[in-house]
Amino acid sequence: MFGSDRSFFDILEQQALAAHRAAVVFRSLTDDFTQLQACADEIDRIENEADELTHRLASKSDKTFITPLDKEDLRALSSALDDITDAIEAAVGRMLLYRLHTPRPDVAPMLDLLVQITADTQKVVSLLATIREREKIHSLLVQIHKIENQSDSLFRQGLQDLFDTPNPDPLMVIKWKEIYDRIEIAVDKCEDVANAVESVVVKYA
């Protein structure tokens, strides 16, 4: 539909894949928290790759007179995808900075949803180049919104459990709240990508 130049879409797909890879590494951490440093290093590498992709798309957009999507749509998609990886990197970085040794039990379910929503985000971005499979795109968009709502519920419950801990350590409450916040930001950015894709589909219908 958008001609033979797939390079813009290829970059977006690579950004979406980077976000999903970061989520998978983050989730693995809850199975073996002794790997915190190794996971943080791997996610930092992924985040650097994602930044390079963002810069590459911005530079290509600036140098291209006619782009397959409006430049503001490309920027919105690229920025939201990069923000997913940034939020994941920030969450893991704080775990390392705060010298946490054991994950709270509510973190793994949150990260399960993060892995799911980044996988669906990757899938919907991969369909953007043709916009032919509208039913599949719509189904994925619905699923992304559904997972975001589920994540909101887990986030609120996690905060409640955190604040209701008997004799809580105020510093630990602050530390874990920051981490929860960044997990929620990563999920929200996936929904931002879904909204941007939906806008593109409507615009180019």
At residue 5, the pLDDT reads 63
What pLDDT, in 10s, does the model give residues 116-161? Answer: 999 999 999 999 887 667 889 999 999 999 999 999 999 999 999 9
Residue 15 is which amino acid? Q
Residue 27 has pLDDT above 50, yes or no: yes
Of the pLDDT bands very low, low, confident and very high (cuts 50, 70, 90), residue 10 is very high
56-65, 150-159, 181-190: least confidently modelled range: 56-65
> Per this entry, what is the length of the chain?
205
Local structure of residue 100 (DSSP, 8 states):
-
Domain residue spans of the chain: 7-203
Q: How far apart, in Å, are the Cα atoms of 81 and each of 104, 110, 181?
A: 27, 19, 17
Tell me the CA end-to-end span of the chain in Å, nearest whole number. 10
Of the pLDDT bands very low, low, confident and very high (cuts 50, 70, 90), residue 67 is confident
Residue 4 has pLDDT above 80, yes or no: no
Burial class (CB in 10 A: 0-12, 13-18, 19+), 158: buried
At residue 48, the pLDDT reads 97
Name the CA dihedral angle for 112, 117, 123, 127, rounded to a multiple of 10 degrees.
Answer: 180
Long-range contacts of 149-152 (CB under 8 A, 24+ apart): 150/113, 151/110, 151/113, 151/114, 151/117, 151/183, 151/184, 151/187, 152/184
State the chain's mean pLDDT as an integer.
92
At residue 114, the pLDDT reads 98
At residue 70, the pLDDT reads 86
Local structure of residue 32 (DSSP, 8 states):
-
At residue 3, the pLDDT reads 47
The mean pLDDT of 168-186, rounded to a whole number, is: 94
174: number of Cβ within 10 Å: 11
Please state which CATH number belongs to domain 7-203.
1.20.58.220
Residue 1 has pLDDT above 80, yes or no: no
What residues have CB less than 8 Å from 145, skipping those under 6 apart? 191, 194
Of the pLDDT bands very low, low, confident and very high (cuts 50, 70, 90), residue 2 is very low
Helices (H), the chain: 7-29, 36-63, 71-97, 107-126, 134-163, 170-203
Angle of CA points 182, 183, 187, to nearest 5°: 115
Angle between the N-to-C axes of helices 170-203 and 134-163, in degrees from 0 to 180, rounded to the nearest 10: 170
Residue 34 has pLDDT above 70, yes or no: yes
At residue 133, the pLDDT reads 74
Query: Please, what sign has the CA dihedral across residues 10, 195, 93, 24?
Result: negative
